[in-house]
Amino acid sequence: MIIVTGGAGFIGSSIVKALNDQDRRDILVVDNLTNAEKVNNLSGLEIADYMDKDEFFDILQAKKHSAKKLGAVSAVLHQGACSDTMATDGRYVLHNNFTYSKELFHYCRRHHLQYIYASSASVYGAGAVFKESPDFESTLNAYAYSKLLFDNYVRGQPDPGIQCVGLRFFNVYGPREQHKGRMASVAWHFRNQFRAEGKVKLFRGTDGYGDGEQRRDFVSVEDVVKVNLFFLEHPGKSGIFNVGTGRCQSFNEVAMSVINTLRLDRGETELSIEDAVQQGTIEYIPMPDALLGKYQSYTEADLTELRKTGYAEQFLTVQQGIKRYMKDLEHPNT
């Protein structure tokens, strides 16, 4: 059996779907369904069992007889977390993202299970180098700190005797993120803005970047899932690895990809960025005070370590990935 924590969430449910596509049904989904909208992510998927995350945590802490309660498990893909980068309850964030991850690590170690967990590119803070090294890690919020704290905890352990993989996701977008609210990707928000108002709002220039020219490494959830499954299929490979495209692209590019994909779907012609700004289809707004000093204006994954593992798949560009994503949203049954 494979355990997927956060299995009703964005990336977790996408992993479950991919496992189903490989004819895997022996999946235990662990999640917190307080937000009932996440149930939609499990609709149509086939799993062996579901368990609430608090019940699961109790089993992890009980230690005795825990293997019997969970059955024959081979691997854990740990996607569950508090992903709110603006969360103010540090105690809650640390419990969910550090303590929970630590208990699960030791459970996997005791029972010799593969352990693949979600880290985050937020651990690099406002730096300009995105390489898996403490020299380039500096956090800007509680979420990022909780992720880096666990990465460092794993680094500090003697050889655990199991596969242990931390995947530092950059800006992920794609299907099954609708429940995330304000924490959903900019692609999701841009699509909703354009459909509701006929325009997309981007931040004015910051940190030396022009209006809408802040640059991130935007990665499709399709590619994120592929990397997870690669490590699941290669249990001898361990470490902490960046998961991005290896190329930064601007928010302007994301916005124009969303706008033009939707325009073409309506039978309208594509716009240039200049025309979109002139027509008011793109509007630049001030950055909120709450984000000042806590915003990454530039990210770009260094994929050197990931490529060393033998992972050779090419990553979708923003233009390729957004086109697929918008078509999935506009025509979900085709």
Catalytic residues: 143, 180
Q: What is the C-alpha to C-alpha distance for residues 78 and 113, in angstroms, rounded to an integer?
A: 12
CB-based contacts of 63: which residues, under 8 Å, 6+ apart?
110
Q: What is the C-alpha to C-alpha distance for residues 114 and 77, in angstroms, rounded to an integer?
A: 8
Instruction: Return the beta strands (E) in 176-291 as ranges.
Output: 200-203, 215-216, 218-220, 239-243, 249-250, 282-285
Number of residues in the chain: 334
Q: What is the C-alpha to C-alpha distance for residues 8 and 241, in angstroms, rounded to an integer?
A: 24
Q: What is the C-alpha to C-alpha distance for residues 50 and 55, in angstroms, rounded to an integer?
A: 11
180 closest CA partner among 313, 2, 12, 1: 12
Q: What is the 3-state secondary structure (H, E, C) of 135-158?
A: HHCCCCCHHHHHHHHHHHHHHCCC
How remote is the C-alpha of 228 from its chain's centroid?
11
Q: What is the C-alpha to C-alpha distance for residues 215 and 205, in angstroms, rounded to an integer?
A: 11
Token code pair at residue 259: 């706008």
Q: What is the C-alpha to C-alpha distance for residues 18 and 45, in angstroms, rounded to an integer?
A: 10
How do beta strands 164-169 and 239-243 pair? parallel
